[in-house]
């Protein structure tokens, strides 16, 4: 599933291949892929044709192509989205949703998405700070730990102020962005914290450690090209990452804990899974 490291791998690939390329055609093949765009498929295309891509940026799991018009094509990969650079004339992918061609680049850019949780829309860029433009609809997303302007102390304060369980807070993109289910479980394992621990019970030091571990594990994943469990996450060339081998908790039910040897367990959490070591990450006595 694409979380921050996976999105960053894709962003880097796109920045390399599509910066300064001029959009010639845009074909929307599935309406859900542009469900956050208020116009039609035709108006989506017509607004983009002739525009030059000037940069590719990211905040958390949101990525956007900056355009010469001052607008941006905002992209979220959802659970199964991919952005691929493909040679023209190749057999289209089964779940190809949007195809871009360029007037000054022979290859095509394909947005492919099996589960259609991802999508693209066109947005206006607004001034976030003196030197920073972000799409209007990304304004509510907090800075991620890789952002040079990320403020750890402020993030710790926001996290502890939230009256909820720690994992729910880690997944809240308005507090800290980029962390999804996999890296939340990994950060919690590294910090020996149970997912249901109330945020109010975390000391400042523990909350800071947790966010530091989240950044650490995502940095390691990024260095290995991201985490892949299947063909659903690949870079712009269709290559999978290797970080699955580096995971200590996620997806490792009934395997021994790398720290103490106890068998890891899987809990049901928010209609999804949470993996932990029952010895290193015991259930808190109270969840209030």
What residues line the site for DNA (CB under 7 A)?
Answer: 1, 3, 32, 60-62, 76, 78-79, 94-95, 114-117, 137, 162-165, 168, 171, 173, 180-182, 250, 266, 268, 270-273
Least gap, CB of 61 to DNA (angstroms): 4
Least gap, CB of 181 to DNA (angstroms): 4
Any alpha helices (H) in the chain, and if so which ranges?
4-18, 41-48, 152-161, 166-170, 181-191, 204-223
- Residue for token digits 């921050």? 4
CB atoms within 10 A of CB 46: 12
What beta strand segments (E) does 189-286 contain?
Answer: 265-269, 272-276
136 is catalytic: no
3 is catalytic: yes
By beta-carbon proximity to DNA, the closer residue of 3 and 66 is: 3
> Residue 197: which residues within 8 A CB-CB, separation 6 or more?
165, 166, 284, 287
Active-site choice (61, 167, 190, 252):
61
Least gap, CB of 68 to DNA (angstroms): 25
Active-site choice (106, 272, 285, 288):
272
Active-site choice (2, 5, 135, 145):
2
CA 31 to chain centre: 22
By beta-carbon proximity to DNA, the closer residue of 16 and 283 is: 283
Active-site choice (3, 6, 66, 186):
3
By beta-carbon proximity to DNA, the closer residue of 272 and 285 is: 272
By beta-carbon proximity to DNA, the closer residue of 161 and 260 is: 161
Rounded Cα–Cα distance for residues 89 and 111 (Å): 16
Residues β-bridged to residue 273: 268
42 is catalytic: no
* Radius of gyration of the CA atoms of the chain, in A: 20
End-to-end CA gap in the chain: 31
Least gap, CB of 72 to DNA (angstroms): 15
By beta-carbon proximity to DNA, the closer residue of 23 and 72 is: 72
How deeply is 167 buried, as exposed, middle or buried, from its count of CB atoms within 10 A (0-12, 13-18, 19+)?
buried
Least gap, CB of 182 to DNA (angstroms): 6
145 is catalytic: no
Length of the chain measured in residues? 288
Residue numbers annotated as active site: 2-3, 61, 272
């Amino acid at each position: 599933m694409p979380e921050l490291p996976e999105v960053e791998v894709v962003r880097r690939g796109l920045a390399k291949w599509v910066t300064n390329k001029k959009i010639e055609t845009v074909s929307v093949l599935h309406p859900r892929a542009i469900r956050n765009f208020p116009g039609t498929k035709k108006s989506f295309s017509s607004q983009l044709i002739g525009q030059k891509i000037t940069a590719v940026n990211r905040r958390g799991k949101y990525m956007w192509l900056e355009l010469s018009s001052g607008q941006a094509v905002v992209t979220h990969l959802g659970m199964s989205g991919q952005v691929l650079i493909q040679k023209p004339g190749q057999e289209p992918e089964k779940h190809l949703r949007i195809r871009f061609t360029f007037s000054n680049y022979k290859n095509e850019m394909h947005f492919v998405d099996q589960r259609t949780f991802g999508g693209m829309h066109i947005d206006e860029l607004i001034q976030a700070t003196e030197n920073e433009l972000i799409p209007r609809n990304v304004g509510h997303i907090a800075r991620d730990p890789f952002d040079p302007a990320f403020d750890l102390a402020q993030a710790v304060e926001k996290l502890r102020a939230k009256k909820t369980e720690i994992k729910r807070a880690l997944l809240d993109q308005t507090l800290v962005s980029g962390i999804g289910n996999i890296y939340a479980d990994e950060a919690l394992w590294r910090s020996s914290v149970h997912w249901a621990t109330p945020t109010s019970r975390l000391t400042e030091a523990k909350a800071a450690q947790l966010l530091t571990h989240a950044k650490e594990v995502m940095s390691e994943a990024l260095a290995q090209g991201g985490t892949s469990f299947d063909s659903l996450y690949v870079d712009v060339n269709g290559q999978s990452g290797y970080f699955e081998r580096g995971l200590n908790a996620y997806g490792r039910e009934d395997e021994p804990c790398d720290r103490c040897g106890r068998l890891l367990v899987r809990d049901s959490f928010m209609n999804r899974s949470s993996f932990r070591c029952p010895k290193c990450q015991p259930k808190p006595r109270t969840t209030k």
